[in-house]
Amino acid sequence: MMTISLIGSGNLAQHLIVAFQNAEKSGSAIRLIQVFARQKEKLTHLLHQDKITTDYTELKEADLYIIAVSDDAIKSISSQLSFQNRLVVHTSGAVAMDTLDNKNRKGVFYPLQTFTKNKAVDFKTIPICLETENTNDYAVIEKVAQTISDAVYKIDSEQRKALHVAAVFVNNFSNHLYQIGNEICNNNQIPFSILQPLIQETAQKIIDLSPQEAQTGPAIRNDQNTIAAHQALLTHENHKNIYTILTQSIQNNGKKL
């Protein structure tokens, strides 16, 4: 039986609580024994209040402590822990493992997904990227990760940094392109819902094809007439800049299919 203590009460922490509880119910050899939250009431809809503590000195002994808080708070919280030589991991894609305080054994438990409050996720499909300072500890977090996910990866700190940047491109930046599409629709009295099926299919297409194979449009076709017409139509200077730089980028590195 592996015992887990979770520190945090935000979006990711809540999704992890649900995932660990489901794993327990389905017979996995783990137990979420305690959760630290500054405000108990943020978690009482998920946990009996006896399992919630607001005091670091009350944290019970566990095989694994998962710090699921904002990037900025990881360093400070890990140094406030009142025990030592236990296994403590954070859940961030952007923060180095070394940021954790030296008094405990370090590791990273990074679920690579965008979490929305109140929207259930199927944790089984979410990649969890693992790293530990000590080889022996890897087996512990791997076992825990496998109780909630079917996609567990060993990713070192250098890889994780790169992966986090890649995630910014495919998630943050793609979403921003959706927003620009939304704005163009709004400015022309077109319902944004008309673009929804295209957005879904664009994402699904690359399950079967590589993005390079899936690339279509005026840039990859080198269709100068359409590109010029689009640029003329984009009166918003920022939209025009983004259009131009992404068109050039497609043309510089893509091959026509």
In the region spanning residues 55 to 114, those forming contacts with its own copies, defined by CB under 8 A, are 71, 94, 112-114
Stretch of 52-60, 83-91, 135-143, 239-247 contacting its own copies, by CB under 8 A: 239-247
Helices 174-187 and 237-253 cross at an angle (nearest 10°) of: 130
Interface with its own copies by CB under 8 A: which range of 24-32, 77-85, 132-140, 201-209?
201-209
Instruction: Look up residue 171 and give its DSSP letter.
Output: I
Of 38, 45, 48, 119, which lies in the binding site for its own copies, with binding defined by CB under 8 A? 119
Find where tokens 């660990």 sit. 20
Nearer to its own copies by Cβ, of 17 and 95: the residue is 95
Please answer whether residues 231 and 244 qualify as being in contact, where contact means their C-beta atoms are separated by less than 8 angstroms: yes
Alpha-carbon radius of gyration of the chain: 22
Residue 145 interacting with its own copies (CB under 8 A) = no
Q: What angle, 0 to 180 degrees and rounded to 10, lies between the N-to-C axes of helices 11-25 and 135-148?
A: 80
Q: Which of residues 12-41 bind its own copies (CB under 8 A)?
A: none
Does the protein bind its own copies through residue 150 (CB under 8 A)? no
d(CA 78, CA 67): 8
Cβ closer to its own copies: 118 or 135? 118
Which of 26, 38, 45, 169 binds its own copies (CB under 8 A)? It is: 169
Tell the smallest beta-carbon distance from residue 30 to its own copies (Å). Answer: 22
Token pair, residue 208, equals: 């079967």
Query: Which stretch in 12-20, 82-90, 134-142, 161-169 sits in contact with its own copies by CB under 8 A?
Result: 161-169
CA 206 to CA 209: how far, in whole Å? 5
Yes or no: say if 5 and 35 are a contact pair by the CB < 8 Å rule.
Answer: yes
Question: How far apart (Å, rounded) are the C-alpha atoms in residues 140 and 54?
Answer: 26
Residues from 204 through 223 that contact its own copies (CB under 8 A): 204-212, 214-220, 223
Report the residue from 57, 135, 189, 224 that binds its own copies according to the rule CB under 8 A: 189
